[in-house]
Amino acid sequence: MFKKAAYSSLVMIMMLALLSACGSSGSGSGDGSKSADPITVKIGLLKNVTHAPAFVAIKKGYLQDRLGPNVKIEVQGFNNGSDFSTAMATGEIDIGYVGPSPVINQYVRSKNIKILSGANNGGAVLVARKGAGVTGVKDLQGKLVAIPTKGSTNEISLRLLLQEQGLQVTTDKSGVQLIAMAPADTLTAMKQGQVDAALLPEPWGTQIANEGIGEIAVDWDQVPPNKGNYPLTIIVSGDGFLKDHRDLAKSVLLANEDAIQFIKDSPDDTYALVSDELKELTGKGLDAELVKAALSHLSLTTTIDQDALQVMAQVAVDAGYIKDVGDGGLDLTGLYDLSLLKETQEGK
């Protein structure tokens, strides 16, 4: 009787061990959020208020909660989208927030990057230096105008703005001259009278105006395309990360949605979060009133307007940033993977 009971116990133990092994195997496959082995997700973003959903997702812990305890998050801030896109192409970052124009340029070169979701539409303004004689777009004739970097989303918007008024970008005063410089340097250059105007992401335009250095010549809701209703901040991923860790990419999209909802529901609680993250990224936070003013120029959304991006891509082609485009135009079909966004919206 004793031997029979012992034998039954041994069989039961072996069955439990086998079931446990099967369960471990199933949870260990797929993405790092379910695996016992820790994984690092490298997230990139730009140091602008236009990336507020990213800042809130980090500060409120939405990213960590969605990705899970086995995921270590590394955040890397960039001064411009060109540096961001290069970092993604070389594997320095996995996923992150950036403007669309550098992403389009990178896609044409390498085809190894995907747009997954929107985060913010609009949030850039044209600010003119006081004393420069610029009160509107037509006054930019013969002036020197700053943009954050060549080929940036802000430059594309500026070129569209100039086209609307029949102005040309030139290398002399016969048209509008462009100069690329970091927004912080633009502020200093305006103080010194070296730059006449700039099209900048927030909070830089508002800060220049608040400090009495310049005035807003074209507000965010008049900047093309679509009068400010164009993707300025999007979420993108490298193909490799998306293929190997699709669930983690989806978790980032869910955290983005959490952050957008928080900003809409609790704007007063958002200002300090944005300032604190900017302080970590740049060493300097922002006054709450400045953050408030800058956030009022954003339209937070996960929607991606593909038609607007196609218009912006054509401007990049015309400007010479994208070359060897055939008669059929630039095909951006492979740039998008919005399937995860659809899943989050449908609650899957």
pLDDT for res 302: 98
Distance from the Cα of residue 103 to its chain's centroid: 10
Whole-number Å distance between alpha carbons of 75 and 49: 16
pLDDT for res 165: 96
Whole-number Å distance between alpha carbons of 55 and 3: 64
Distances (CA, A) of 338 to 42, 166, 248, 287, 334: 21, 36, 15, 36, 11
pLDDT for res 17: 42
pLDDT for res 326: 78
pLDDT for res 218: 98
- Reduce the DSSP state of residue 297 to 3 states and report it: coil
- Report domain 40-122+230-345's class: alpha beta
CB 208 within 8 A of CB 127: yes
CB 158 within 8 A of CB 147: yes
Kindly state the tokens that stand for 173: 């005063």
Whole-number Å distance between alpha carbons of 313 and 151: 10
Give yes or no on whether 40-122+230-345 and 124-228 have one common fold.
yes
pLDDT for res 160: 98
CB 136 within 8 A of CB 176: no
pTM above 0.85, yes or no: yes
Mean pLDDT by 10 residues, the chain (348 residues): 44 42 36 65 97 98 98 96 94 97 93 96 98 97 97 97 97 96 96 97 96 97 97 97 97 98 97 97 95 96 97 95 86 95 92
Residue with tokens 């989050």: 344
111 secondary structure, DSSP code: -
104 secondary structure, DSSP code: H
CB 175 within 8 A of CB 187: no
Please state the domain extents for the chain.
Answer: 40-122+230-345, 124-228
CATH topology of domain 124-228: D-Maltodextrin-Binding Protein; domain 2 (3.40.190)
**C-alpha angle 229/235/236, rounded to 5°?**
125
CB 176 within 8 A of CB 141: yes
Phi first, then psi, for residue 80 (nearest 5°) are -155, 165
